[in-house]
């Protein structure tokens, strides 16, 4: 229904969900937020197949796979660490308390949300470690 209305009326949606498989189905571009901060944004297929941010990668790893053989081979990324309070967020990068790459720079400074490749944006100090 959403797709039909979108085509018929030339609509743009802001579709908010936690299930990236549903978001991927309905969206042409996807933005991923953590604690109210945009951490990654790209065309849907680019984000699903070439994600950069550790939080995005964790969300994508949680997408159910219908094929049992492929599902068994899928490496789920389980986030560890403390879930911060949105009322009292951590200093610097909002994801740093759960990020395996976090260091002193992450605690001291919030990363810039910047274009990494054409149309693909990410906010992380450690993009060199993620590629």
Residues 40 and 119 sit within 8 Å (Cβ to Cβ): no
**At residue 66, does pLDDT exceed 80?**
no
- Residue-level pLDDT at 17: 85
Distance CA 27, CA 20 (A): 10
Q: What is the pLDDT of residue 20?
A: 85
Q: What sign does the CA torsion over 108, 110, 115, 119 have?
A: positive
Residues 85-105 pLDDT 10s? 889 999 999 999 999 999 999
Is residue 74 over pLDDT 70? yes
pLDDT at 83: 86
Q: What is the pLDDT of residue 69?
A: 75
pLDDT for the residue numbered 131 = 66
62/23 Cα distance (integer angstroms): 13
Distance CA 40, CA 131 (A): 14
CA–CA dist 113, 123 (Å, integer): 4
C-beta of residue 55 within 8 angstroms of C-beta of residue 39: yes
As given in the structure block, the two tokens for residue 119 are: 């149309």
Span of 45-49, 50-54, 84-88, 127-131 with lowest mean pLDDT: 127-131
Other CB atoms within a 10 A radius of the CB of residue 101 amount to: 16
Measure the CA–CA gap between 122 and 61, rounded to whole angstroms: 18
């Amino acid at each position: 229904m959403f797709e039909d209305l979108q085509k018929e009326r030339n609509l743009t949606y802001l579709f908010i969900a936690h299930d990236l498989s549903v978001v991927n189905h309905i969206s042409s571009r996807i933005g991923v937020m953590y604690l109210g901060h945009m951490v990654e944004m790209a065309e849907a297929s680019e984000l699903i197949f070439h994600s950069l941010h550790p939080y995005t990668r964790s969300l994508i790893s949680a997408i159910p796979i219908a094929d049992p053989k492929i599902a068994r081979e899928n490496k789920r990324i389980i986030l560890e660490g403390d879930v911060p309070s949105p009322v009292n967020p951590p200093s610097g990068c909002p994801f740093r308390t759960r990020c395996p790459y976090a260091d002193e720079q992450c605690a001291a400074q919030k990363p810039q949300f910047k274009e990494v490749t054409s149309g693909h944006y990410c906010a992380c100090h450690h993009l060199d470690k993620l590629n």
